[in-house]
Amino acid sequence: METNEPTPLYSMATRILICCIVLLMGFFSMKMLANLKKPPAEVQNVEKPLRVIAKKMVPENVAITITGYGELNPKEEVIISPEVSGRVTYVHPNLDAGEIVNESDILIQIDDRNYKAAVKELEALVEQGENNINRLKTQNVIDIKRMKTARRNMELSKAEFLRVKKLFKTNKVGTQSQVDGNEKNFNSATDHYLLLKQAVDMFPFKIKEAAHALAANKARLEVAQANLERCQIRAPFDGRLKLVQIEKGQFINKGQHVMTLANDKQLEIHVPIDSRDVQKWLRFKPSTTEKSELAWFDDVLPVTCRIRWTEALDKDFWKGQLNRVVMFNEKTRTITVAIEVDAEKAVNKNADTLPLVEGMFCLVEIPGKQLENVYTLPRWAVSYENTIYMAKNNRLKTSSVTVEKIEPEIAIISSGIVPNDDVIITRLTDPMENSLLDIQFK
């Protein structure tokens, strides 16, 4: 049986033809689909502006504020120590740290029996010395009278002796024994007179010695009386007991630190300030003759300062007064100034606000000199390189300025800006120079 099989050449041609037809159909299909798609619309390349806030600059006069930190302390603080030794027999009922005592209150009483006895003994010695001086003065008066009598007796004895002697030698009247007896009487009267004269001459020295002894005893009596008074330790002023180290019945020694009393009626803050800020901004009074002769700072102008407690900066502030320059620290190159705060100003009337008390760490704002025709900007508007961003013809420009003073919230510019310049105050991070701006003025 015969079969008709296609030849290999015919089969190859058929396959090639089919492939070509498929390829042509795919090409025309793609072409048709491509013609159905619309080309995208062309977009114009438009520059997008940078939206910023600008401030038109106007020169102004600005009062500089010098800021610093310091701790509040009482201006007057006394360490109380006994001036005599002894056992404590009484203590103030409120003798505890933090309690308030009034001026002249007896804080402690020391056993004073020995000191009273010493006063009585010296009072007796003083009285004895006074009596001794009076006795010497009275005796001096009597001895002066006796000396006059003794002198007269001496003169009479001398005259009698000379008369008897002359009679015996000239007229041979009398005997030698009579002459010798009269001479003996004359010598005795002379010796008595000289002894009384010596006693009278010595009385001023004896009285002076007695007076010195009396003065010494009086001085010792004053010391004893002072020691008796020192047995009571009284408060020197109205104040707060800051430290108490004593109990009733305790024996205390002279000079022992027993308590510390602080006067909170006037407080003080010592604020160290950079010496360059002091030189440029702090205001001093004109030099006086007395001050100019001393190598020290002139008196500062007593301006009113603002004081804020660092734990409540958003609360109310207190007022103090700049008082004086305290010291210059050569290591830190700072000058420490003192700010005084009265107790009335330290107490805030608001019930929810604490008063200023010792130990609080405070921020102090001191008004300084005034700068004229300067410009103020927010602190963030000036870079660390002292440059600002300005708007000129709606384009961003970078400009260098001279920063006169940096304060917590603002920067004060003295040059690099002219009136009516538009300065950008928006926070920008590395903006492109000459960028187009969309400006809103503040």
Number of domains in the chain: 3
- CATH number of domain containing 415: 2.40.30.170
286 and 428: one domain?
yes
pLDDT at position 402: 93
Q: Averaged over 83-91, what is the pLDDT?
A: 95
More confident residue, 176 or 263: 263
State what percent of residues in the chain have pLDDT above 90: 54
Q: ∠81-85-91 over CA atoms, to 5°?
A: 65
Q: Where are the beta strands (DSSP E) in 151-216?
A: none
- Co-location of 216 and 241 in the same domain: no
Backbone angles phi, psi at 256, to 5 degrees: -75, 135
Among the candidates 214, 229, 244, a domain finishes at 229
Per the CB < 8 A criterion, the answer to whether 86 and 251 are in contact is yes
> In terms of domains, do 320 and 407 share one?
yes
pLDDT band for 374, please (50, 70, 90 cuts): very high
Question: Could you tell me the residue range of the domain that residue 239 belongs to?
Answer: 82-110+231-257
Query: Are residue 214 and residue 303 in the same domain, yes or no?
Result: no
DSSP string, 298-357: PPBP--EEEEEEGGGTTS--EEEEEEEEEEEETTTTEEEEEEEEEHHHHS-SSTTSPPP-
Q: d(Cα 77, Cα 90) in Å, to the nearest integer?
A: 24
The answer to whether the pTM exceeds 0.75 is no
Using an 8 Å Cβ cutoff, are 269 and 305 in contact?
no
Q: What mean pLDDT do residues 33-47 have? A: 69
Confidence of residue 288 (pLDDT cuts 50, 70, 90): low
Q: Which residues contact 291 (CB under 8 A, 6 or more apart)?
A: 298, 299
- The reported pLDDT for the residue numbered 39 is 67
If asked whether residues 315 and 367 sit together in one domain, one would say yes
225 and 176 within one domain: yes
pLDDT at 338 (0 to 100): 96
38-52, 85-99, 389-403: the lowest-pLDDT one: 38-52
Asked if 244 contacts 259 with a C-beta cutoff of 8 angstroms, the reply is yes
Residue 390 placed within a domain: yes
Residues 320 and 225 in one domain: no
264 closest CA partner among 360, 363, 335: 360
Same domain, 157 and 142: yes
pLDDT tens digits, residue range 169-225? 877 777 788 878 888 888 888 888 888 888 888 888 999 999 999 999 999 999 999
The one-letter amino acid at 55: K
In a domain, 14, yes or no: no
Strand ranges for 82-141 from DSSP E: 86-91, 100-101, 106-110
Give yes or no for a contact between 87 and 249, defined as CB atoms under 8 angstroms apart.
yes
Whether 40 is covered by a domain: the verdict is: no
